[in-house]
Structure 1
Amino acid sequence: MKKDNKCVDINVSANVGECAYSRGSTPIADEGDAVIRVPVELAVLNIRTNLAAKIKFPEPVLEIKDIKKRVQIVQCKLLLPGVAAGTDPFVEGSYHLFIKGYVRKNIQYASPCYNSGVCVNSEMRSLTTDVPFECVVEIAEDDFDRTPQLPFQNARAEFDFFRQQDLGHGYPEKDHFLSSDLSQFHQDSSQFYNQMPYCELISSRITEWDEALDRKPFHNSANWQEGTFETISEKMFLQFTVKVLQNQQVRVTAL
């Protein structure tokens, strides 16, 4: 027997017909002649944080030749509280911005492959690693260029109908069971699809200090100042600028 995988009988539960409509409205921040939806700048923030890490190389390192760095943000969320439908969503206040990312580092270094006691032959290698960071920034009310539009809250409300039922055998005929019907469920719900704020990374600057922790000099070598290490201690002062935006409907004066 072939199993019927259909969970909805569209011949019974669905209908295609004519839809009615009425004019709707959405919150608008400004006054003007034309209404457009555009990304608006909520705030521009210069964020500073400190990072510390230990990096271990897979082989001995004679010296570091170059380090290329890039800041990469993987999460930038402005946490906004919800408001009830029908109220003003443009409420001034201080809100929190959650930021998570990492500094991608590509370290180019020389690794010795031969030491004659007079000269050292090396091979150029590279190591790529990510140094993570995570922080929370509280944006003060006065630091917003424009007020964020708070999300409208979804709502669900249940309602029941009165039902009178006979009590059955063992009860007087004039007595009845008075309550709602447990075999029925009634609900009115509403959902709002709000515009979520987002971020753009504008610029970054990194000041770093890398220092070897286990450097050992070469023995029995005329190059007494030469040596190798496998672990470095890294400290970074990270500065970057992010722009927080949100799609909002605004009125503009058409030219």
Structure 2
Amino acid sequence: MSEQNITNSGDCSIIRPCPVDAVTLTPLSDEVARPNLVPANLNPILKVPVVLAETTLQIVVEANIPLNPPASEIKRVFKDVFITQCKLVPVRFGAESCEGNVRTVTRAKLFVEGFIRKDIEYATTNCNGFIRDRIATVPFSGFAELTPGEFFVFPTIGGSSESRSRFINPKNSDIPRLDKYFFENNVFYNEQPYCELVSADFFELDFSPCPTGVGESFDTLREKIVVDLTLKVLQLRQVRVNALGLGEHHSKD
């Protein structure tokens, strides 16, 4: 017998099947807290993610997905995109943006790798069949070129240097010393640009490789899928904020 709860209401008994434990919560008081802000007479420097570019990549994939047990009909397919790697590789540089051999990147290759997660619901037979669930991950990889017109803000990258100074042999000025060197190294640690998912539009055709008749089943689902994947490319940068101008509103007479 299933669990139930009987409540008397006047002359009638109300049956609540499948009761669960519940607690009525007590409301708590709240008040506005005063934040600890940077003084208004300072112009702080913030380190924040800056959007370098926003691009839509078209991914075209074909795959065969085995079905066990075989299917007679596909009911629903849910899809999501997962990015496992997104790297920006500079290929062209502009002028130095500040001291210390820090240059702007004017052209780059964007390498993207990930997979499409598909959740397939299908019927096993035509008459009184069961609904089965099949999860498949379809990998993809590729690259795109980001040109100067596609950047909102150019990425920056600082170069490292290594130098070696030689010495003359004090006993014979015609030959150098091979046992004495002066080394100098300069290393710049850059903020790696990274990606952020924005949206994905899926267009796909799913079918059995071999046409099946009425009452027959198929054990392989072939898919041809096109994904328009929109990504943001960001980099942590330092930005000076005018604290005096924040929140001000200027109106015209």
Tell me the TM-score normalised to structure 2 length.
0.69
RMSD over aligned Cα atoms: 2.5
Distance in 1 of aligned mates of 2:101 and 2:107: 19
Structure 1 residue ranges without an equivalent (≥5): 1-31, 113-118, 166-175, 218-224
Query: Which residue of the other structure, out of 238, 241, 244, is the alignment partner of 1:249?
Result: 238
**Bigger share in strand:** 2
2:203–2:226 CA contact under 8 A, matched in 1: yes
- For residues 149-193 of structure 1, what are the alpha-carbon distances to aligned partners after superposition, in whole Å with 9 as ceiling and x for unaligned? 1x222111122323346xxxxxxxxxx695344344532111110
Shift of residue 56, structure 1, vs aligned partner: 2.0
Shift of residue 80, structure 1, vs aligned partner: 1.9
1:164–1:179 CA contact under 8 A, matched in 2: no
Query: Which residue of the other structure, out of 152, 159, 182, is the alignment partner of 1:145?
Result: 152
Q: Which residue of 1 aligns with 2:31?
A: none
Q: Which residue of 2 aligns with 1:86?
A: 100
Q: Which residue of 1 aligns with 2:109?
A: 96
Q: Which residue of 1 aligns with 2:142?
A: 135
- For residues 21-73 of structure 1, what are the alpha-carbon distances to aligned partners after superposition, in whole Å with 9 as ceiling and x for unaligned? xxxxxxxxxxx943222111111112222221222223321212221111111
- For residues 120-162 of structure 1, what are the alpha-carbon distances to aligned partners after superposition, in whole Å with 9 as ceiling and x for unaligned? 342332222111222221122122111211x222111122323
1:38–1:250 CA contact under 8 A, matched in 2: yes
Query: Which residue of the other structure, out of 152, 160, 165, is the alignment partner of 1:159?
Result: 165
Q: Which ranges of 4 or more aligned residues in structure 1 deviate by more than 4 Å?
A: 81-85
Structure 2 counterparts to residues 194-233 of structure 1, below 5 A: 194-217=190-213, 225-233=214-222
Structure 2 residue ranges without an equivalent (≥5): 1-41, 245-253
Tell me the TM-score normalised to structure 1 length.
0.69
Q: Which residue of 2 aligns with 1:179?
A: 175
Would the alpha carbon gap of residues 58 and 177 (structure 1) be closer, same or farther in structure 2, given more than 3 Å must change? farther
Distance in 2 of aligned mates of 1:152 and 1:88: 4
Q: Which amino acid aligns with 2:121?
A: Q
Distance in 2 of aligned mates of 1:145 and 1:216: 52
Would the alpha carbon gap of residues 181 and 52 (structure 1) be closer, same or farther in structure 2, given more than 3 Å must change? same
Q: How many residues align?
A: 199
> What SS is found at the alignment partner of 2:166?
coil
Q: Which residue of 2 aligns with 1:110?
A: 123
Would the alpha carbon gap of residues 215 and 121 (structure 1) be closer, same or farther in structure 2, given more than 3 Å must change? farther
2:82–2:117 CA contact under 8 A, matched in 1: yes
Shift of residue 215, structure 1, vs aligned partner: 4.4
Once the two structures are aligned, what percentage of the paired residues are identical? 32
1:215–1:230 CA contact under 8 A, matched in 2: no
Q: Which amino acid aligns with 1:90?
A: T
Shift of residue 95, structure 1, vs aligned partner: 2.1
- For residues 185-206 of structure 1, what are the alpha-carbon distances to aligned partners after superposition, in whole Å with 9 as ceiling and x for unaligned? 5321111101111111011111
